[in-house]
Amino acid sequence: MKQASQDPQHSTATETVYRALRAFAERLSRPTAPPDGLLSARVIGEFSAGKTRLLRELLGAAIPPALFPVSSLERQTRLPLEITYGEPPALTLIERANDYDAAIPVETLHAFPRREELGDSDPLRYRLQLTITEPRLFLPTGDRYGEDDREPKRLLLIDLPGWNSGEDALAESAAAEIMTGYHNLALVFVVAANRLDGQQNTERLREFLAALADADFVGEPTLILVITHCPPADQARLGARLRERVETLWRELDEDPDALRLHSLAVDFAELTPDELASFRETFWGHLLAPLQDGSQAEPQAAHPWIAGLRHWSGESDPRAHLPLAQARIEEARALLARACPGGEFLPGMNMHRLLGLDAAALRERLLTVWRRQLECPDAEQLAARLATPVPLPDDHPLAAWWGQYWQANLERALAPARQFFARAEAVLRQVQPTTSDLRAYLAGHLSEHHRAAVQALDSSFACLVESAQALVAETPPERATATLLSLSLLEARYTDHEAWARGNR
Ligand X SMILES: Nc1nc2c(ncn2[C@@H]2O[C@H](COP(=O)(O)OP(=O)(O)O)[C@@H](O)[C@H]2O)c(=O)[nH]1
Shortest spacing between CB 145 and ligand X, in angstroms: 28
Three-class DSSP category at 263: strand
- Nearer residue to Mg ion within complex by CB, 61 or 73: 73
Q: What is the DSSP letter of 404?
A: I
175 three-state secondary structure: helix
Q: Which does 229 bind (CB under 5 to 8 A by kind): Mg ion, ligand X, none?
A: ligand X
Task: State how far the Cα of 284 lies from the Cα of 58, in Å rounded to an integer.
Answer: 8
Q: Which spans of this chain sit near ligand X (rule: CB under 6 A)?
A: 45, 47-53, 71-73, 77, 162, 190, 228-229, 267-270
Identify which of residues 168 and 497 has a Cβ nearer to Mg ion in the complex: 168
For residue 52, state whether it binds Mg ion (rule: CB under 5 A): yes
- Which residue, 113 or 478, is less far from Mg ion as judged by CB? 113
DSSP 8-state assignment for residue 46? B
Q: In 205-226, which positions are buried (b, 16+ CB within 10 angstroms) versus exposed (e)?
A: bbbbbbbbbebebbebbbbbbb
State the nearest-atom distance from the C-beta of 271 to ligand X, in Å.
Answer: 7
Least distance from ligand X to the Cβ atom of residue 168, Å: 12
Contacts of 223 (CB under 8 A, 6+ apart): 186, 187, 188, 189, 209, 212, 246, 260, 261, 262, 263
What distances in angstroms separate CA 335 from CA 342, 367, 377, 425, 468, one per listed residue? 11, 20, 12, 16, 19
Nearest-10 Cα torsion for 332, 338, 340, 344: 170
Comparison of 159 and 497: residue with beta carbon closer to Mg ion: 159
Query: Which CB sits closer to ligand X, 220 or 268?
Result: 268
The residue sitting closest to Mg ion, measured at its beta carbon, is 52
φ, ψ (nearest 5 deg) of residue 430: -70, -20
Cα distances (angstroms) measured from residue 361 to each of 270, 325, 346, 433, 444: 94, 38, 20, 9, 22
Instruction: Please report, as residue ranges, which positions from 375 to 394 form the binding site for Mg ion (by CB under 5 A).
Output: none
Cβ-based nearer residue to ligand X, 165 or 301: 165
Decide whether 42 or 51 has the Cβ nearer to ligand X: 51
Paired sense of beta strands 126-132 and 153-159, if any: unpaired
Of Mg ion, ligand X, none, which one sits near residue 302, judging by CB under 5 to 8 A according to partner kind? none
The interface partner of residue 72, options being Mg ion, ligand X, none and the CB cut-off 5 to 8 Å by kind, is: ligand X
Q: Which stretch binds Mg ion (CB under 5 A): 43-51, 247-255, 395-403, 459-467?
A: 43-51
Burial of residue 292, with CB atoms counted within 10 A of its CB: 0-12 exposed, 13-18 middle, 19 or more buried: buried
Q: Which of these segments, 49-57, 227-235, 268-276, 379-387, binds Mg ion (CB under 5 A)? A: 49-57
Distance of closest approach, residue 166 Cβ to ligand X, in angstroms: 13
Interhelix angle 461-469/323-340, rounded to 10 degrees, is 130
CB of 163 to ligand X, least distance (A): 10
Number of residues forming the site for Mg ion (CB under 5 A): 3
Contact letters (x/-) for Mg ion, 67-96, by CB under 5 A? Answer: ----------x-------------------
- Distance in Å, CB of 27 to ligand X, minimum: 36
Q: Is 60 left (phi over 0), alpha (psi -120 to 50) or beta?
A: alpha
Sequence-separated (6 or more) residues with CB below 8 Å from residue 335: none
38 binds, among Mg ion, ligand X, none (CB under 5 to 8 A by kind): none
Query: Between residues 51 and 320, which has the closer beta carbon with respect to ligand X?
Result: 51
Tell me if 48 contacts Mg ion by CB under 5 A.
no
Q: Is the dihedral of CA 132, 137, 140, 142 positive or negative?
A: negative
- Please report, as a single letter, which amino acid is at residue 465: L
* Residue 119: CB minimum distance to ligand X, A: 20
CB of 113 to ligand X, least distance (A): 15
CB of 128 to ligand X, least distance (A): 13
State the residues that interact with Mg ion by CB under 5 A. Answer: 51-52, 77
